[in-house]
Amino acid sequence: MKNTTLSLQEKKQKNEKITMLTAYDYSTAKLMDSCGIDVLLVGDSLGMVMLGHDTTLPVTMDDMIHHAKAVARACETAMVVADMPFMSYQVSVPEAVANAGRLIKECGVAAVKLEGGADVCPQIEAIAKASIPVMAHLGLTPQSINALGGFKVQGKDRAQARRLIEDARAVERAGAFAVVLECVPAGLAALITELLRIPTVGIGAGKGCDGQVLVYQDMLSLYPGNSPKFVKRYADVGSVMRSAFQAYIEETRSGAFPGEEHGFKIDDGILRELRQGCGAESL
């Protein structure tokens, strides 16, 4: 059964944790889907982990559509959510609805995600009214990196914490079906989870959220450099890949690869004829 906004809501009610990972391509999404992941997020983090930008800001609608199509094709049971990139929803409400519609129509994803609280509630409301489920995103919102002054924990002081609670209530009222809480103190995220009827999905927000999300390159040690404190490295796939690439380079240079078992045969008689016809030396 495909996961839906309703099945996620049910999970919250039954106290079952929601599992979510980012995905950006067909093969990886297929693997994750076959493992039973509930939600795959085609995050605009693809700007950094797939395209090599320093931030998510340069990501375009075309980038999102290209990757979201591939992920949606792979999923049998996971619900696929696509991020709305920077400036695809901030400029105006009609533009936000039109761009959310493109992600649904052109990619086949089931929902969109956008960053922000009360400020983007008109957009959330209009997109939800167009029958497009919207996941909200609060706390550290990477598209606001310049305004926030860096990748920092959000909601630590009283005023910030109160604003986060208000924003969480506002996005729920506006019609969001779930909300990502990124880099928020665990106690505050647990309080927001208790206050909301919709599920919360945490990243760096402690175990009190209704679900968890990680960027898969971080959990598999595939992205160069230090990863944030909240990342647990489940496997060092980067090292496994590096060893395989090195072995391939060495074996190709030495002639050990390809072996006979990796090739295809042609009848000796045909080859002899071809050689004669081409004027090559006889075997």
Closer by beta carbon to ligand KIV, 28 or else 45? 45
- The answer to the question of residue 189 lying near ligand KIV (CB under 6 A) is no
∠ CA 198-49-239, rounded to 5°: 115
DSSP-assigned beta bridge partners for residue 138: 181
Closer by beta carbon to ligand KIV, 115 or else 260? 115
Question: Which residues between 208 and 227 bind ligand KIV (CB under 6 A)?
Answer: 213, 215
Least CB distance to ligand KIV at residue 49 (A):
8
Closer by beta carbon to ligand KIV, 38 or else 159? 38
Where b means 16+ CB within 10 Å and e means fewer, 232-256 reads eeeeeeeeeeeeeeeeeeeeeeeee
Least CB distance to ligand KIV at residue 246 (A):
30
d(CA 9, CA 18): 10
Least CB distance to ligand KIV at residue 103 (A):
14
Max Cα-Cα span within the chain: 87
Give me the 68-87 binding string for ligand KIV, x by CB under 6 A, dash otherwise. Answer: ---------------x----
Tokens for 219? 């959990």
Tokens for 70? 């591939």
Please state, as a whole number, how many other Cβ atoms lie within 10 Å of the Cβ of residue 8: 25
Tokens for 220? 């598999």
Closer by beta carbon to ligand KIV, 41 or else 220? 41
- Closest CA relative to residue 78, chosen from 18, 137, 132: 18
Look up 250 and say whether it is catalytic. no
Least CB distance to ligand KIV at residue 197 (A):
21
Closer by beta carbon to ligand KIV, 29 or else 251? 29
Question: Which residues between 113 and 152 bind ligand KIV (CB under 6 A)?
Answer: 137
Least CB distance to ligand KIV at residue 44 (A):
5
d(CA 223, CA 50): 9
Choices 36-44, 99-107, 235-243, 246-254 (CB under 6 A): range interacting with ligand KIV: 36-44
Contact with ligand KIV (CB under 6 A): which of 33, 44, 63, 210?
44
Residue recorded with tokens 């609280």: 117
The catalytic position among 172, 182, 250, 281 is 182
Least CB distance to ligand KIV at residue 202 (A):
9
- The answer to the question of residue 45 lying near ligand KIV (CB under 6 A) is yes
Closer by beta carbon to ligand KIV, 112 or else 213? 213
AA identity, residue 91: V
Q: What phi-psi label fits residue 196: left (phi over 0), alpha (psi between -120 and 50 degrees) or beta? A: beta
d(CA 141, CA 144): 6
- The answer to the question of residue 32 lying near ligand KIV (CB under 6 A) is no
Choices 40-48, 62-70, 87-95, 171-179 (CB under 6 A): range interacting with ligand KIV: 40-48
Q: What phi-psi label fits residue 105: left (phi over 0), alpha (psi between -120 and 50 degrees) or beta? A: alpha
Tokens for 89? 């929803």
d(CA 219, CA 229): 12
Q: Which residues are catalytic?
A: 182
Q: Where on the chain is the footprint of ligand KIV (CB under 6 A)?
A: 22, 41, 43-45, 83, 137, 180, 182, 203, 213, 215
